[in-house]
């Protein structure tokens, strides 16, 4: 008897699953689902390429200046270490502690600057996405899409209405470049 109950429940579950699959299939037929690869839009857009180039130049400039400052800190550290033998212990401790504070401040400022670059990149992406929203809406309407799905969210299915290249073309026409300013860091 348990076997038959289990078999009936399994059969019911299979029928329910088939019903759900066919219902979803019919619902998809009623919907025109467009597919957008947001990552591809950003990586192919002229504005993002322009922004990446500008931010990378800022980072490269910072890293060059940072490396020079690091070298000066290393030299200062070596000088303090060499003075250990000739300085009074309390004077040496004061110099060493002052140097450690200076080095810690330097490292904290470097981390903050790197964070500032990341926030600037994020802010730039938001600007591009804001410009992209009406473009996506216009293209979706023009192809008769009733829904847009991010490509990376699709596990399985047809992508008849792939609008990524159309969005890239319109975005490049509307926003070939973007201004990039370092985002101020929030007060701490």
pLDDT 10s digits, 66-122: 999 999 999 999 998 888 888 888 998 999 999 999 999 999 999 999 999 999 999
User: What is the distance of C-alpha 145 from the center of its chain?
Assistant: 27
Q: Three-state SS string across 5-56, please? A: HHHHHHHHHHHHHHHHHHHHHHHHHHCCEEEECHHHHHHHCHHHHHHHHHHH
Q: Which of 37, 5, 9, 33 is nearest to 153 (CA)?
A: 37
pTM of the entire predicted model = 0.71
The reported pLDDT for the residue numbered 7 is: 41
Cα 133 off chain centre by? 18
Characterise 144 by phi-psi region: left (phi > 0), alpha (psi -120 to 50), beta (else).
Answer: left
What does the pLDDT average to over 11-21? 46
In angstroms, the CA 178 to CA 124 distance is: 8
Cα(36)–Cα(162) distance, integer angstroms: 6
Q: Where does the pLDDT of residue 152 fall: very low under 50, low under 70, confident under 90, or very high at 90 and above?
A: confident
pLDDT at 19 > cutoff 80: no
Number of alpha helices (DSSP H) and beta strands (DSSP E) in the chain? 5, 3
DSSP 161: E
Backbone angles phi and psi of 150, in degrees to 5? -65, 130
Q: What span, in angstroms and rounded, lies between the C-alpha atoms of 104 and 117?
A: 20
Instruction: Please give the DSSP secondary-structure letter assigned to residue 160.
Output: T
Question: Which is it for strands 33-36 and 147-150: parallel, antiparallel or unpaired?
Answer: parallel
Confidence of residue 3 (pLDDT cuts 50, 70, 90): very low
């Amino acid at each position: 008897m348990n076997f038959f109950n289990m078999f009936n429940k399994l059969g019911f579950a299979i029928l329910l699953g088939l019903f759900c699959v066919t219902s979803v299939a019919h619902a998809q037929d009623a919907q025109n689902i467009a597919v957008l690869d947001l990552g591809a839009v950003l990586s192919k857009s002229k504005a993002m390429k322009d922004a990446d180039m500008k931010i990378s130049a800022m980072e490269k400039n910072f890293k060059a200046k940072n490396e020079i400052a690091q070298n000066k800190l290393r030299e200062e550290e070596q000088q303090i270490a060499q003075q250990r033998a000739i300085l009074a212990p309390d004077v040496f401790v004061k110099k060493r502690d002052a140097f450690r504070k200076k080095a810690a401040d330097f490292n904290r400022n470097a981390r903050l600057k790197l964070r500032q670059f990341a926030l600037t990149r994020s802010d730039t992406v938001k600007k591009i996405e804001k410009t992209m929203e009406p473009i996506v809406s216009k293209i979706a309407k023009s192809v008769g899409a009733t829904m847009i799905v991010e490509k990376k969210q699709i596990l399985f299915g047809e992508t008849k209405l792939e609008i990524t290249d159309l969005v890239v073309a319109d975005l490049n026409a509307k926003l070939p470049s973007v201004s990039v300013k370092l985002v101020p860091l929030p007060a701490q």
